[in-house]
Amino acid sequence: MASKKFLELKEFTDEELVNELQATQAAHQKLEFDHTIKGLDNPLQLRETRRDVARLKTEVRRREVEKMTPEQVDGRSKIRARRRKA
C-alpha cells in the first residue's frame, strides 16, 4: 500500500516538488549538524527526513523518466543492461 506521503507527492507540481526537496534537504543537514553538536531529543527524526528526501528524489526522477522520448528511454535501457552484465 502506498504511503500517505507518496500519494501527497503525486499532487505536487514539478516546481513545488523541487522546492520541497531543497527545503527537506536543508532541514536534514540542520538536523545532522545539531545531532553532531548537541544531540537530538528524538534521533529518529534523522531517519524520517532522510526517507522524505529519498521519496522526493524518487518522484522527481520518476517524472523525468516519464518525460523522456522513446529514443532516450531506449538509450537508458542499454545503459542499464550494460550495468547488469558487469
Q: Rounded to an integer, what distance in angstroms lies between the CA atom of residue 33 and that of residue 53?
A: 17
- pLDDT-based confidence at 1, cuts 50/70/90? very low
pTM higher than 0.85: no
CA quadruple 6, 40, 19, 63: dihedral positive or negative?
negative
- How many CB atoms lie under 10 A from the CB of residue 67? 9
Q: Which residue has the higher pLDDT, 29 or 71?
A: 29
Write the pLDDT tens digit of every residue in 6-58.
Answer: 888 889 999 999 999 999 999 999 999 999 999 989 989 999 999 999 999 99
| Residue 2, pLDDT score | 56
Give residue limits of the domains in the chain.
15-85
pLDDT of 79 strictly over 80: no
List Cβ neighbours of 57 (8 Å cut-off, separation of 6 or more): 21
